[in-house]
Amino acid sequence: MQEVLQTAGKVLDRDASVLILGESGTGKDYLAQAIHACGPRRDEPFVVIECASIPSELFESELYGHERGTFTDAHTRKIGKLEMARRGTVYFDEVAALAPNLQAKLLRAIQERRYTRLGGTQSIELEARVISSSNRDLDELLAAGGLRRDLFYRINVVTIALPPLRARREDIPALAKNFLGRKRRFTDDALKMLTSHAWPGNIRELRNVVERAALLGEGNEIGPDALPLTPPDALVESATRDHWTLDELESQYIRSILRITKSNYSKAAEILGINRKTLLEKRRKYGI
């Protein structure tokens, strides 16, 4: 992480495009925000474009904006996100998720540093800095034609690779303590359990586990019993060995959480990430 931060520090005052790589949950968006917030563009907007969630037919309108009357629902002029960013930073989250035809449209704006609103005639200068991210193997995408090489070269002037949490286990106690807050603490056994976990969901998963532990744990000390790690791991192992169906696995997991919460359905629903009504429906479905 020191190497990551050193590289980030070197690009703060530069206008070069930055590509942040890393698995889901490693904090790519936080690093992008930090580069923006610590650089000379900090007082300008930081605009996020979530490439995986924008419908193809709306991409150009979201990116460039449009003039009134350009299409049926264009009742007013719309300012695109590139224009909203002004002289700040535009962050393309999961840029490799864009379809090839949309990659070509993005490339044109980045390469020429100019664009035009849909239905407009005035050329607008792209003044914002470009930061992009991806959780995918870009070498495989390039080989398969899923990512344009010319776009890759434009967004990949400087690459910063974020390591997965399993590769920086010495940071887990500090991160967990930060998420828990200062008023409570983990026992040594709880910290050992957190440090030994594989964390496929990386820091995002760690944060969720700590938040659940804070709900389940009683008193100022959080022990291993409050960590929702062992029951799910054991369940997955049993399910894999005995070829359970997904319904069987879900049923057993809900039973485990209800045992941990002593049948407190509101707390169990919060841990499971569903509302209480849905939990009650699942209880009836599985005969719990």
List pLDDT tens digits, range 211-237: 988 888 888 999 988 887 754 556 666
Average pLDDT, stretch 147-167?
Answer: 93
CATH architecture of 2-161: 3-Layer(aba) Sandwich (3.40)
* pLDDT confidence bin for 137, thresholds 50/70/90: confident
Greater model confidence, 74 or 92: 92
Residue 246 has pLDDT above 70, yes or no: yes
What is the dihedral angle through the alpha carbons of 207, 213, 216, 217, rounded to the nearest 10 degrees?
-140
Residue 153 has pLDDT above 80, yes or no: yes
Cβ atoms within 10 A of the Cβ of 196, count? 11
Q: How far apart are CA 94 and CA 50, in angstroms?
A: 7
Count how many residues are written for the chain: 288
Global pTM value: 0.77
CA distances from 200 to 20, 44, 135 (A): 19, 35, 13
Q: Are 97 and 141 in contact (CB under 8 A)?
A: no
* pLDDT confidence bin for 144, thresholds 50/70/90: confident
pLDDT value of position 152? 95
Residue 107 has pLDDT above 60, yes or no: yes
Q: Are 163 and 173 in contact (CB under 8 A)?
A: no
Residue 91 has pLDDT above 70, yes or no: yes
CA angle, residues 91, 146, 62, in degrees to nearest 5: 35
CATH code, residues 166-286? 1.10.8.60
* pLDDT confidence bin for 86, thresholds 50/70/90: very high
pLDDT, one tens digit per residue, over 44-62 is 999 999 998 888 888 989 9
Q: How far apart are CA 180 and CA 175, in angstroms?
A: 9
Average pLDDT, stretch 250-268?
Answer: 82
pLDDT value of position 271? 75
Residues 6+ apart with CB under 8 A from 284: none
Average pLDDT, stretch 122-126?
Answer: 93
User: Is beta strand 78-79 parallel, antiparallel or unpaired with respect to 185-186?
Assistant: unpaired
**Domain ranges within the chain, ordered by starting residue:** 2-161, 166-286
Residue 273 has pLDDT above 80, yes or no: no
